[in-house]
């Protein structure tokens, strides 16, 4: 069995990093949507944060980070 060259190893790892990066973004978007659903259910960012044992700022930031941007003309 032939060992891949260092260039092939680097290319393979770069591809893996790209795939992982895409998965992280998708996961963050799903988490943001779930947190927003929690706010809708519990009534406030504070209530969600308290339920999860996190700071309200962290929850608010996570929701806002992936909120769809509204274009203004």
What does the pLDDT look like over 19-36, one tens digit per residue? 999 999 999 999 999 999
Any idea what the Cα angle at residue 57 is, between residues 31 and 50, rounded to 5°? 75
Q: Is the pLDDT of residue 69 over 70?
A: no
Contact between residue 10 and residue 48 where contact means Cβ atoms under 8 Å apart:
no
Q: Is the pLDDT of residue 14 over 70?
A: yes
Range list of H helices, 43-55: 45-52
Mean pLDDT score of the chain: 93
């Amino acid at each position: 069995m032939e060992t891949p060259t260092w260039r092939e190893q680097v290319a393979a790892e770069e591809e893996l990093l790209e795939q992982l990066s895409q998965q992280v973004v998708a996961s963050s978007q799903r988490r943001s949507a779930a947190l927003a659903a929690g706010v809708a259910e519990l009534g406030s960012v504070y209530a969600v944060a308290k339920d999860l044992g996190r700071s309200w700022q962290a929850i608010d930031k996570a929701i806002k980070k992936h909120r769809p941007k509204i274009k203004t003309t």
